[in-house]
Structure 1
């Protein structure tokens, strides 16, 4: 049944993800996939706090042993991922595929303008040139003060 491939996921215990195993950079949505093979949907918890997504998996299996005894296999896995800025954090979705891939998706916000945007130039009587010249003079004066300051001491 569902519990057979559990040994595969045991090595992942305690993993903390900085970069997603695979993250799609499509234009309209972000996609993140994590291998959660060996965990059923009931054993997984996905929590979101702002941009941070925490995936926790807990599995407990009791098996009969020799002489009527029984033993328990207990596994716990925790992964934390920081989602990139610019996503709609209110619309994050999560799904578990049959192959054990946990998929986290979020639409990208359309707040950024297109690649380029024209910025109108307003013309004011002499202020723009004076400000530019003043900034250049201040930089030169600062350099001179540092040089002359070291000579005076």
Structure 2
């Protein structure tokens, strides 16, 4: 893909702010006519820069007020163990985010749940049954200070 230029950055910033913006509105905002703007959007999508569009849902209002952060240590860090863990996590809808980490722990996950009992059930039925998990440490969020999907494209 070609380098991302200033117009691409403005397009990305605008769709990050409002994923429902029309091509016409976006074109006006970034100073292009609709056809070239649509081509640029398509190029950004085809290149994987824009990976998709989604709605940001208030997890409390849909009955999932609990955010648990679980630090996972595996018994071994072999490629097949890491792959098995990643494949399992990808199937679990309770896992909102999961990162492979450096440091003392191998993974950091954010799990959403309706209450502590639901998290406990997730832990017992899924996470602790996964082969190769050596330890799990969980912290619970008391509140959310900031959450953003908007990247600072300066």
Q: Under TM normalisation by the shorter chain, which class is it?
A: under 0.3
More helix by share: 2
Q: Which has the higher strand share?
A: 1
Say which one has the larger Rg: 1
Structure with more relative contact order (C-alpha pairs < 8 Å, separation 6 or more) = 2
Q: TM-score by structure 2 length? A: 0.22
